[in-house]
Amino acid sequence: MTERVTGEVQAMAEAIHYDVTDGVAVLSICHPPVNALAWPVRDGLLRALTQAEVDPEVGAILVAGEGSTFPAGADIAEFDAAPKDPWVPELCTRLENCAKPVVAELHGTVLGGGFELALACHYRVALRATRVGLPEVKLGLIPGAGGTQRTPRMVGVKVALDMILSGRILPIDRPPYSTFADLLVAAPNDLRSAALSFCHDVMAKGPRPSRDRQEGFADPVATQTELRSRAEEASEGPENAPREAVAAVEAAFLLPFEAGCAFEEAAFAELVASDQSKALRYAFFAERRAAKVPLTAAAPLPRIGALAVLGAGALASQLVVAALDAGLTVRWGIADEAIRDAARAEVEDSLEDAVSDGALSRDVASASLARLTCGATPLMIRDADLVLDASRGSRAETAPDGALRATAPGETVAGVGLRFARPAHLSRLVEVLEAPQAKADQLPLALALVKRLGKVPVHVRSDGVTVGGKMTRALHRAADALVDLGASPYDIDAVLSDWGLELPPFLQRDATGLKGVGTEERPGGGRDWAAVIAQAGRSGRAAGRGFYNYRGDAGAPVADPLVLEMIERARGDAPGLAKQAIVPLMLGALANEGVRLVDRGIVARASDIDVVIMLGHQFPRWRGGPMKAAELHGLFRVIRAMEAIDHPDRAFWAPEPWLKAMVRDGVGIETLSA
């Protein structure tokens, strides 16, 4: 017989539903979309817990998430304000200290603070499809609610650090992650009854606090060795969170539980306030904002099941792989039969490689191939929901009128074009170019496709201009101007590489190749140094010489005195430039260009530019993209640096009024929108 007591504690009214069923208090978290542990959830949970603790009818407590998931983490949007009590660690401690057994019922994506909450419960019953993870490092943070302390106690430092340093989302039904679950349930409909019955089983056993578990530290020598090598690895990168994560896990091993938690709390507080974490949190929301494009057509995004891809080149085959990975049915149209067979064989090989590497299971690879049909183009188009024309050169003659075009650099579009960052099957960015002549239904189709492929669309109003292209040209123009002013390309690259650019401008230009055609003078004033160098017969890395010399050991780039001589001869006297001015000037030039793109309505907001440059152009995510990086560096400092130089390309270097207004009004670049 089920006795049912239903009560609502006032303050938890909406975020927590409280039920007592047959002696088990069920605390259901209801805070869509992902049940993030925002203040009303934390406050409500604490009150509900107190109520359950004192209720003599309650023998065990079940914590669950309503809707699609158990909490997917702390509320990231709250991190910019001072923490409001109760904060997640306090909640976890209260759950763990509860005198009655507390069970977590897991489903969905149990991440970050949500996973830590689950670990603080005494037992866990999980749906098999549940995925767990500690993705805080992707936000420049470490787990801050006991995750660095409880996880290694349960599964050892190796698995704990793999989880914390990778931030990966992992299946709870596979070892070693199955250690986290005391009971796995296959069918969603059985989860609640299994969890309630489990609660009854543990009523007699009582609480089992994770802080008392020690099985993860069973081998102290191996633990010590693992910690030492992880500390060494983490010290190499520019990001602070991995270093702090290793230190916190070491504290779990060496210190009493409370002292380890205090270490974690202090490290978390320092990281949350850091520019790196601010940039990474911004990047998280910027990507989600970019994907929200207001549409003129009122209809919901169309559903895409079968996609026809046209073309036989590298881009087409990358798109076929991307579409298969996303679970789409793919109809690949290639006119020539021999080319078609070779193209299919190539895709088969790449899936086989993924199986051998362990990146893909045999079943998934076979299912992907079963969804691929190759044939003559008209036949392939016939049953497709959407046609994506990725043929090289001009548009495929057989492409139907409404087809979307996967564009190449420099190509203009008449309707909507998709500029996939390369390689298209791995990269997450797609610039969705909407030309003025585009038909009303083309943009919704393009967005639906990009989202279906699991990629991030950035809407660009243009018939050919891309954000990536514009910003890259601005970076090169700025880098050339710094040489005009007296800096050497090697100093510029070294400073920017230390700052975090993976491929600084002169190395980047060598990699893509230098062109000697055209004039050495830039239209706005100053020199195009790539043209100067190319005209001296140095066309870039492929040719063994460009700005750098690649003819030595293993083709590594080496500074070349001949290039410096060439520059000095062509430049004559230069005013000279302090190295400290390089970063603010580069950021100023990029921020200026970004403002122009928003001002002209090419993109809707500054953060869209950052998304493009972070996802598609190797800009360090922990700097937040060029616009956010300029803000974090200090727009006032950036503007002062631009105003302090005397370069002939004045229109380029004059700070845009919008930038100046932001400094004057004390607002951030998030206010910059068309």
| Diameter over CA atoms, the chain | 94
Strands 429-434, 416-420: pairing is antiparallel
Q: Which of 59, 65, 73, 504 binds ligand 3HC (CB under 6 A)?
A: 73
Distance CA 327, CA 371 (A): 8
Q: Which of 16, 29, 34, 630 binds ligand 3HC (CB under 6 A)?
A: 34
What angle in degrees, to the nearest 10, is found between the helix axes of 88-97 and 39-54? 20
Q: Which is nearer to ligand 3HC, 145 or 396 (CB)?
A: 145
Distance CA 92, CA 119 (A): 8
Whether 116 is catalytic: yes
Strand partners, 132: 110, 170
Check binding of 110 to ligand 3HC (CB under 6 A): no
Distance CA 558, CA 548 (A): 5
Check binding of 244 to ligand 3HC (CB under 6 A): no
Q: Which is nearer to ligand 3HC, 135 or 588 (CB)?
A: 135
Q: Which is nearer to ligand 3HC, 119 or 487 (CB)?
A: 119
Q: Report CA 129 to chain centroid distance, whole Å.
A: 23
Question: CB of 271 within 8 A of CB of 279?
Answer: no
Q: Which stretch binds ligand 3HC (CB under 6 A): 31-39, 215-223, 397-405, 422-430?
A: 31-39
Site for ligand 3HC in 125-184 (CB under 6 A): 135-136, 139, 141, 143-145, 147
Distance CA 667, CA 655 (A): 16
What angle in degrees, to the nearest 10, is found between the helix axes of 635-644 and 625-633? 90
- The size of the chain, in residues, is 674
> In angstroms, what is the minimal distance from the CB of 286 to ligand 3HC?
11
Q: Which stretch binds ligand 3HC (CB under 6 A): 11-19, 107-115, 178-186, 199-207?
A: 107-115
Q: Which stretch binds ligand 3HC (CB under 6 A): 28-36, 156-164, 424-432, 515-523?
A: 28-36
Distance CA 43, CA 345 (A): 58
Q: Which residue has the tokens 């979309």?
A: 33
Total number of residues binding ligand 3HC (CB under 6 A)? 24
Q: Which is nearer to ligand 3HC, 147 or 311 (CB)?
A: 147
Distance CA 542, CA 300 (A): 48
Check binding of 113 to ligand 3HC (CB under 6 A): yes
Site for ligand 3HC in 399-458 (CB under 6 A): none
Q: Which is nearer to ligand 3HC, 145 or 249 (CB)?
A: 145
Number of helical (H) and strand (E) elements in the chain, helices listed first: 25, 20
Q: What values do phi and psi take at 432, rounded to 5?
A: -100, 105
Active-site residue (options: 14, 66, 90, 136): 136
Strand partners, 193: none
Q: Which is nearer to ligand 3HC, 35 or 488 (CB)?
A: 35
Check binding of 33 to ligand 3HC (CB under 6 A): yes
> In angstroms, what is the minimal distance from the CB of 134 to ligand 3HC?
7
> In angstroms, what is the minimal distance from the CB of 38 to ligand 3HC?
8
Q: CB atoms < 10 A from the CB of 337, how many?
A: 11
Strand partners, 418: 406, 432
Strand partners, 389: 310, 405
> In angstroms, what is the minimal distance from the CB of 133 to ligand 3HC?
8
> In angstroms, what is the minimal distance from the CB of 72 to ligand 3HC?
4
Cα angle for residues 136, 138, 140 (degrees, 5° grid): 75
Whether 411 is catalytic: no
Check binding of 288 to ligand 3HC (CB under 6 A): yes
Output the CA–CA distances (angstroms, integers) from residue 421 to 309, 454, 611, in the order listed.
17, 14, 12
Q: Which is nearer to ligand 3HC, 286 or 567 (CB)?
A: 286
Output the CA–CA distances (angstroms, integers) from residue 152 to 176, 218, 303, 574, in the order listed.
12, 11, 43, 58
Q: Which is nearer to ligand 3HC, 249 or 582 (CB)?
A: 249
Check binding of 116 to ligand 3HC (CB under 6 A): yes
Check binding of 467 to ligand 3HC (CB under 6 A): no
Question: CB of 297 within 8 A of CB of 443?
Answer: yes
> In angstroms, what is the minimal distance from the CB of 282 to ligand 3HC?
12
Q: Which is nearer to ligand 3HC, 258 or 337 (CB)?
A: 258
Check binding of 260 to ligand 3HC (CB under 6 A): no
Q: Which is nearer to ligand 3HC, 112 or 216 (CB)?
A: 112
> In angstroms, what is the minimal distance from the CB of 83 to ligand 3HC?
10
> In angstroms, what is the minimal distance from the CB of 107 to ligand 3HC?
13
Element (H, E) at 148: helix 147-166
Q: Which is nearer to ligand 3HC, 139 or 501 (CB)?
A: 139
> In angstroms, what is the minimal distance from the CB of 37 to ligand 3HC?
7
Q: Which of 44, 112, 457, 468 binds ligand 3HC (CB under 6 A)?
A: 112
Question: CB of 91 within 8 A of CB of 42?
Answer: yes
Q: Which residue has the tokens 């392939």?
A: 380
Site for ligand 3HC in 473-502 (CB under 6 A): none
Cis preceding linkage at 423, omega within 30? yes
Active-site residue (options: 96, 116, 287, 593): 116
Q: Which of 12, 36, 471, 474 binds ligand 3HC (CB under 6 A)?
A: 36
Q: Which is nearer to ligand 3HC, 144 or 546 (CB)?
A: 144
Check binding of 583 to ligand 3HC (CB under 6 A): no
Check binding of 111 to ligand 3HC (CB under 6 A): yes
Q: Which of 12, 49, 74, 531 binds ligand 3HC (CB under 6 A)?
A: 74
> In angstroms, what is the minimal distance from the CB of 139 to ligand 3HC?
6
Check binding of 76 to ligand 3HC (CB under 6 A): yes
> In angstroms, what is the minimal distance from the CB of 244 to ligand 3HC?
12
Cis preceding linkage at 176, omega within 30? yes
Residue 135: half-sphere exposure toward Cβ, Cα within 13 Å: 19
Q: Which of 49, 88, 322, 487 binds ligand 3HC (CB under 6 A)?
A: 88
Q: What values do phi and psi take at 388, rounded to 5?
A: -115, 115
The structure tokens listed for 474 are 């601005």
Question: CB of 170 within 8 A of CB of 159?
Answer: no
Output the CA–CA distances (angstroms, integers) from residue 89 to 26, 99, 228, in the order listed.
21, 18, 27
> In angstroms, what is the minimal distance from the CB of 65 to ligand 3HC?
11
335 CB burial (10 A radius; 0-12, 13-18, 19+): middle
DSSP string, 30-64: --TTTT-B-HHHHHHHHHHHHHHHH-TT-SEEEEE
Catalytic positions, written as ranges: 116, 136
Interface positions with ligand 3HC (CB under 6 A) = 33-34, 36, 72-77, 88, 109, 111-113, 116, 135-136, 139, 141, 143-145, 147, 288
